[in-house]
Structures are given as C-alpha cells and as structure tokens.
Structure 1
Amino acid sequence: MSEHHNSDERKFRLWMRWLPGIFRKKLEERDDLQKVIGNTGWQFVDNLVRMGIGLLIGIWVARYLGPGPFGLLSFALAFVALFSPLASLGLDDIVVRNLVRDPTTRDESLGTAFVLKLIGGIVSLAAATAVIFVLRPENGLSRALVAIIAAGALFQAFNVIEFWFNSQVQARYVVVARSTAFLFCAGVKVALILGGAPLIAFAWVGTLEFLLGALLLVLVYRSRGLNLRRWSSRLTRAKTLLRDSWPLILSCIVIMIYLRIDQVMLGEMVGSEAVGVYSVAVRLTEVWLFIPTAIYWSVLPSLVEARAAGNDLFYSRLQKYYNLMALLAYLIAIPVMLLARWLVLSLFGSPYEEAGLMLAVMIWANLFTFLEVARSAFFNVMNWNRIYFVTLSLGAALNVLLNWLLIPRYGGLGAAIATCVSYWFAAHGACFLYKPLHRTAFMLTRALLYPKLW
C-alpha cells in the first residue's frame, strides 16, 4: 500500500510543478488539500469524458429518434428515476462518512451495504414495473422501456466499492471502471444508430452499462489487493445504517420528485413530444452537474476532519465551499442563457427549437443546485438529515404545485419556471424558516451576492 501511496504522491508533485508559484507554495504546505485537488481532478476527468462524449451521443440519439420517441425514452428514464432511492437507500454519504471515521470497518460496512442495496434494487424494479402497468396498461412499449431500465438497479449494488475509494480520496480507481464501461456503451449506441436500431435497443444499452460497470469495479477492487469474499453483513450494522439513512432515503425520493416529476407530469399532461423537446433543455442544464458532485466527494472528508478540529475552521471552509459553488454556477449560467437558442438549434436542430427559451430559464436552476449540493455536505457532517429532508420536501411540494399550475398553460416553459423557483426555495429560501439554519441562510446569501474565494 505504501508503494502505491508514494507513486501517487510523485505523480501529484509532477503536475504541481506547472502551477503558478503562489498556488504551488500553498499546496506544498497542505497535504490534505493536495489529496482533495488530486481527487477532484480525477472526478473531473471522468465527468468531462461523460459530459463531452455523452452530450454528443445524446444529441445524435435525439436527432435519430426525433422528439416523439426521444420523449418516450426520456419519460421512461425519468419515471424509473422516481424509484431509484429504493435502490440507493441513501447509504452513499453515510457509509463514506463512517469509513472516513473508522476504516477498519471496511469489510463489514461494504458487505452490509451491498446486501441492503441489492434488496433495494429488487424492490425498486418491482415497484417501477408494477406502477407503470397501472398508469399505462395499453402502452406495451412504455412498460417494456421502464422494466428494462429499472433492471439496471440490480447491478448498482456493486457501487458500494466506490464508497471505499471515495473515503480514501482515491477516485482514480472508480474513474477507470466507470469510464471504460461508459465509453464501450457509447460505441454500442453509435452502432445502433448506424444500424437503424429500434427505440427499445437504447434502453438495453443503459442496463448493459450498469452491468459492465459493476464487473469492472470488482476487478479494480481486487487489483488493489482487496477481496470481496472478506465482506460480511451484520443485522446490527444494517439497522444502524438504516437508522441513519432513512431520512436520506426519504430525501432521495423527494430529490427525484423535484428532479424528474416535471418530465413525468409533462408526459402525462401534454405528451411524449413535449417531453422530448423539454428533455433537451434538461440535458443541456444537467450536463454541468458533474461539477458540484465531483467537488462534493472530494471536499466531504476534509469537512469531516475540520468539524472535529473546531467550528472556526469548519465554517471557514464551508463558506469558501459555498462561494466556490456560486461562482462556478454564475460562470456557467450567464453565457448559456445568452446563447441558449443558438445552442439548441446548432446541436439538436429545428424540431427542438422551443427548448431554447426553456434552457435560458432552466439554466439558473443550476445556481441553486450547486449550492444545495454544498449545503448537503454541511447537513451530512452535522448529521442533520431530518432537517435536510424537510427542506427538500418543501421544495418538492412547491415543484409539484407549480408544475400543476403552469404546465397546462405554458407547457415545457412552465415546467422550467417551476424548476427554478422550487430549487431556489429548497436550497436557500427554506433556510430562513428554521432558526438553526439562519446562519446557513446568511452564508448562502453571502455566496450568492459576493462569492469571494480568498
């Protein structure tokens, strides 16, 4: 293990030589910051590959299928996403946090989480399939798409391997596995387009990516001298994990509601073609969400350590984290808003032209999403999962209400407006309603108005 560590340190110092002197000096004095930046770099590489190639393939698929079939596929993906919390069980942050605090529990923690997620995947598949049969009893294609896509949850149980590498700030091993699976399946999608494949084939590719990703994660885990056979599961640990995570399970359900309910409601209230056009705006908005996610997983261990050291250091790092998220969101939102119509026409073509105005509005939801991701790290470290659930629930309820009011009159544009307003409320506005969160509310306000980094 020490040889791997020394090799990683040498690689980090090699690229650090290319940084300006002032930044290099700061990094040389902070081993923890070096690990965070190096880990974030790997996360960015993975997500940049996904963003670039995924967007190109997504554009090609959208052009190939057209708004109607593409909307039906998007509807199925959004519908399955509503049930995904039953598979994830909100364990990601909890297990990573526990492994940071006590790495010696690795085998028992991962083994127990694996069993829980496998059971959750089975429940998720059964629930999604049953509900779509009730909602669309006469639409065989919709039912088939949902069943195929939902089956991918079974293989996501192996994602617990990522928890260990994230807790050790070693994202590169996860990146290798995930990127390989993604690139292979991207090639399969190209072959399907060139071969004139039917819509349902693209659903199968999504499940294939989960399967291949699981196999590669196992290989990477074993290559590090670790053994899945040492995993064990204990009922007492399972109860402890679920006791900590049940608010997060509910929170994940709420998150999926306000992330995906707009597409589901649009599909039920307007139709598949409207979902196809709206999904283009969603895709161009969400393509940036790898940024807060990558930073989150790299910053979380340092926030856990800062909290243990004292409140001054903890809140100082937290404010800088909020400021960074706000600044990055502004740098994305302003140019995308100005170029929205041109981007849609250039990338997706005239059949999706109406998505331009939707994108110009929806891109501002990213500002609040970035801050919400950062705020969730604060809640995780403080173990305020119940408060997190309440704020998200209020945002989701507002989202459903606004969609119900605005979609009949404004269609996809109404859904975009509902998204922005509800995201702001969940991330920022709700903090003013609860006294223990007033400090957080003012910290977020400062980040929105003056995102100073130094």
Structure 2
Amino acid sequence: MSQPPPEPRGLPRFLPASLRNRIAPLLAAPGFSNTLWLFGDRLLRMGVGLVVGVWVARYLGPEGYGLLSFAGSYVMLFSALALFGLESLVVRELVTRPDQREAILGTTCLIRCAAGLAAYLLALPLLLLIRPGDSAALLLTALLGSSLLFQSLEVIDLWFQSKVRSRFSVCARSVAFLLSSGAKLALVLSKASLTAIAVATAAEALLTGLGLIVAYRMAGGSLRAWRWDRGQFSRLVTGAVPMLLSGVVLMIYLRVDQVMLGALADAGQVGQYAAAVRIAELWYFVPAAIVSSVFPDLVRVREQDPVLFQDKLQRLYNLLAFLGYAVALPVTLLAPWLVRLLFGPSYQPAAPLLAVLIWAGLFANITVVRNAHFIALEWGRSLLWATTAGAAANVLLNLLLIPRYGAMGAALATCLSYWIAAHGACYAVPALRPAAAMILRALLLPRWWRNHPVHGDS
C-alpha cells in the first residue's frame, strides 16, 4: 500500500492540498527567494516612486517637471555607453571563473569608469547642439549625468547576481532609493529649487554605490584585492561590443521620444508627456516577471519537443496580449480621472496622451515575449534587427509628427514604433514571418486560457 505524500510545510492549511502540493516545489526551487527579493524591490520602487514622482510633478508644474524629465531621459540615452554592455558577460565570467573574481571585477570596474567618463563628457557638448543657450538644461544634465560616473561601482551587483544573492544588492539599492526619495519629499515640503531636487535625484547613484561597497565587505569581499588583467580586458571588450550596440539602440528606442520632444517643443509639453508616461509604464515590470519565470522551461521544451515549444510560445504570446488589452481598455476610459487624481488639474492635457501611450504597453508586452522567443532560438541578429527598426522608426516618426502635433505626435510615434519593433519588422525578413503570424494571432484573438494549437484551427 503506497504512502501518501508528505504534507507541505510552511503553507496555510486553509489552502486545498492539491494547490499546496503545486506551490511547495516552487517555494523550494533554487533561486526562488532571490526572485522574491527582486520582485519586492520592483514593487517598492513602483509604489514609492509613483508617490514621490507625483509630489515632485505637482510641485514643479508641467514646465519644471518637463525640464527635469528631459534631462533625465537625455542622460538615460548615454547610460548604455556607461554600462558598456557588460552585464551578462561579467556574470557568465564570474560563474565560470570564480577563482578570477578580483581580476574580473577590477577590470570591469575600470572599463566602466572610462566608459562612464566618456559618456559624461560626450553628453554635455551634444546637449549644447540640441538646446543651444539653455543653461538650465545644461546644469540639470551635468547634475543628473554624474550618475554615469558612479555606475562603475554597480559591478558589485553583478557578483551578487552570479552568486544568486541579490538580497544584498536589493538592500543597498532600496536604502539609497528611500534616502533619495525622502530627500526629494523634504525639498518639496521646504519649497526648494529645481536644482536641489536634481541633486537629490543624482545622489541616489552615489548612495547605491556606497551601499554596494558596504554589502560587498559584509559578504567577505575587499575592493583592495581587485586588479587589472589584460586578458580579461580583451575578452570582456571583445564580447561586449555587440551588446553595447544593442544597448545603445535599445535606449534610443525607449527614451528618444522625450529627448526629441524637448528639442522640438516646449518644456510644458514634455512635462505633460512625462506625466502620462509615468502612469503608462507603471506596470511594465509585470510582463518581464512572467516571461523570465517561464523562459527556462521554454528553452528546455525547445530541445525536447519543437511542436510543444511552439504551442507554449503561442499561449505566452496570447497571455501577454490579453494582459495588454486588460490594462489598456480601462485606462483609456479612465485616463482623465487618473491624471486629475494623481497629478492635478494643471496636468489635464496629459489625459489624451495617456489614452494613447497605454496602448504602447500592449506592444511592449509582445516585445518581451518576442525577445524570449528569439533568444531561445539563438536568433541574436534578428533581435538586433527588430530593435534597430523600432529605434529608427521612433526617431523618424518623432521628427515627422512632433512639429505638427506636439506631445500627441510623440505619443503616436511611440505606439507605432513599438508595434514596428514587436511585430511589423518581422514581416521584412522571410524567416521571421512565422513569428509575425503568431503575434498577429495573439493580437486578434488572445485565447490564453486554454490550449491554442499553432498548427490548424482549434
């Protein structure tokens, strides 16, 4: 007579036994607690960031908030250069060569120091070409751009990632984020200047770096042991170049809209647009969390059963499309109320922008799945092509639409370019047209709640 399975521990007894038996292996899975720490960090930033962002936006008004948002988005364009595309490469090196930790970390830190300085020195003169004579924008960019210089210390986070011990990084980042957020609230209450708020914003990068140093020492590491290694330098730089190019293209794709709006329109429109973007992008971490949780299973199934891989992939496309519609439809209807509730009457022109930008989230969801699709099939060139097409479309559409329609033109350009990157670019390459058909099926009929065969009608 077979024995019943042991009762799962640590779960409430009011849950059905079948559900507890399903959840227990997940809780015991390697890295699950690490994922919870990362998810908690994202929730903290989403909640506190929204509250603080709304306070700052209300205090500064559309013009001041627009100027701050423009400078922040402009600096973000150069963050890809400062990071130098080293993230995944360094984690891989630390996992495969743990005995060379000091050489890997030291070399990576120096590379990022040089890249961050180059990015900072490049950003300032280019801004003078974009907005000549705008001393306020130059000062804000100089302050916010200082974060590019401190990103070299975030190499410590890569070591924690390689050890699946992200709780140390999360704690350091969260403390820095809360201190910076508290400082901004205090400055708003004391009616401080826009420059002071920019200083508090920039201080987060420095505080994060200092927190990571403390966490690294608590974990037994020492920065004094780091060293430069020529072999590591050659290996890292050679491998990072394609990732660097992809990162630069991705940042252009994601942030060029506010930069171009700031260059082609007034700061007030940038502020209205930034307010709409803050609400529209509030839930973007959800699709990334869903896809990252199922990606290892997709890779495994792809090797074992290609037909099942296609079916699982179609259901994932359908699920993310369904979530996109589930968010976009109500937000479109509630946009005026949401903007008035969060940002106040002075930001009411942001409501129609939000009603348009929220639909970019549908295509952003599809893009997350499409990226996992291409990575699982090792289609790196196709992924770069689609992202580049989206970035080029974003720039061209902004140039065409912003002079005519202002902030609404930027919103329309964002939606169209997100669709091109997620779906439209796939039609230009014959090998990608089956993926385009899967995406079209998800967009037209996202039946995620039951099996949806890829081949033939259901």
TM-score, normalised to structure 1, is 0.87
Structure 2 residue aligned with 1:87: 82
Q: Which amino acid aligns with 1:136?
A: R
Report deviation, 1:127.
Answer: 0.6
1:164-217, CA deviations, whole angstroms, 9 ceiling, x for partnerless residues? 333444332222111111111111001101111111111111221011111112
Structure with more helix by fraction: 1
Report deviation, 1:424.
Answer: 1.2
Hey, what's the Cα distance between the residues in 1 that align with 2:215 and 2:23? 29
- Say whether 1:354 aligns with 2:312: no
Is the CA contact 2:131–2:263 (under 8 Å) kept in the aligned structure 1?
no
Is the CA contact 1:322–1:371 (under 8 Å) kept in the aligned structure 2?
yes
Structure 2 residue aligned with 1:269: 264
Is the CA contact 2:103–2:229 (under 8 Å) kept in the aligned structure 1?
yes
Hey, what's the Cα distance between the residues in 2 that align with 1:162 and 1:308? 31
Structure 2 residue aligned with 1:238: 233
Aligned in 2, Cα 1:111/1:401: closer, same or farther, shift over 3 Å?
A: same
Q: Which amino acid aligns with 1:356?
A: A
Where do residues 427-438 of structure 1 align in structure 2 (5 Å cutoff)?
Answer: 427-438=422-433
Aligned in 2, Cα 1:106/1:318: closer, same or farther, shift over 3 Å?
A: farther
Structure 2 residue aligned with 1:250: 245
Which of 53, 56, 63 is the aligned partner of 1:68? 63
Is the CA contact 1:307–1:381 (under 8 Å) kept in the aligned structure 2?
no
Structure 1 residue aligned with 2:20: 24
Which of 195, 200, 205 is the aligned partner of 1:200? 195
Is the CA contact 2:66–2:272 (under 8 Å) kept in the aligned structure 1?
yes
Hey, what's the Cα distance between the residues in 1 that align with 2:96 and 2:448? 31
Where do residues 200-239 of structure 1 align in structure 2 (5 Å cutoff)?
Answer: 200-239=195-234
1:22-70, CA deviations, whole angstroms, 9 ceiling, x for partnerless residues? 44323444678x3455433322211111111111111111111111111
Q: Which amino acid aligns with 2:321?
A: A
Where do residues 139-218 of structure 1 align in structure 2 (5 Å cutoff)?
Answer: 139-218=134-213
Aligned in 2, Cα 1:129/1:308: closer, same or farther, shift over 3 Å?
A: same
Aligned in 2, Cα 1:171/1:372: closer, same or farther, shift over 3 Å?
A: farther
- Say whether 1:306 aligns with 2:300: yes
Structure 1: tracts of 5 or more residues without a match: 1-11
- Say whether 1:451 aligns with 2:448: yes
Report deviation, 1:247.
Answer: 2.4
Hey, what's the Cα distance between the residues in 2 that align with 1:327 and 1:389? 26
Report deviation, 1:235.
Answer: 3.0
- Say whether 1:14 aligns with 2:14: no
Aligned in 2, Cα 1:17/1:327: closer, same or farther, shift over 3 Å?
A: farther
Q: Which amino acid aligns with 2:426?
A: C
Is the CA contact 1:325–1:371 (under 8 Å) kept in the aligned structure 2?
yes
Percentage of pairs with the same residue? 44
Structure 1 residue aligned with 2:5: none
Hey, what's the Cα distance between the residues in 2 that align with 1:136 and 1:286? 27
Aligned in 2, Cα 1:20/1:71: closer, same or farther, shift over 3 Å?
A: farther
Structure 2 residue aligned with 1:4: none
Structure 2 residue aligned with 1:8: none
Structure 2: tracts of 5 or more residues without a match: 1-7, 452-458
Hey, what's the Cα distance between the residues in 2 that align with 1:378 and 1:133? 41
Q: Which structure's CA Rg is the greater one?
A: 2
Which of 388, 410, 416 is the aligned partner of 2:411? 416
Is the CA contact 1:431–1:441 (under 8 Å) kept in the aligned structure 2?
yes
Hey, what's the Cα distance between the residues in 1 that align with 2:101 and 2:439? 35
Hey, what's the Cα distance between the residues in 2 that align with 1:171 and 1:439? 38
Structure 2 residue aligned with 1:9: none
Aligned in 2, Cα 1:412/1:99: closer, same or farther, shift over 3 Å?
A: same
Structure 2 residue aligned with 1:387: 382
Hey, what's the Cα distance between the residues in 2 that align with 1:112 and 1:240? 11
Hey, what's the Cα distance between the residues in 2 that align with 1:338 and 1:364? 12
- Say whether 1:117 aligns with 2:121: no
239-248 or 113-122: bigger deviation: 239-248
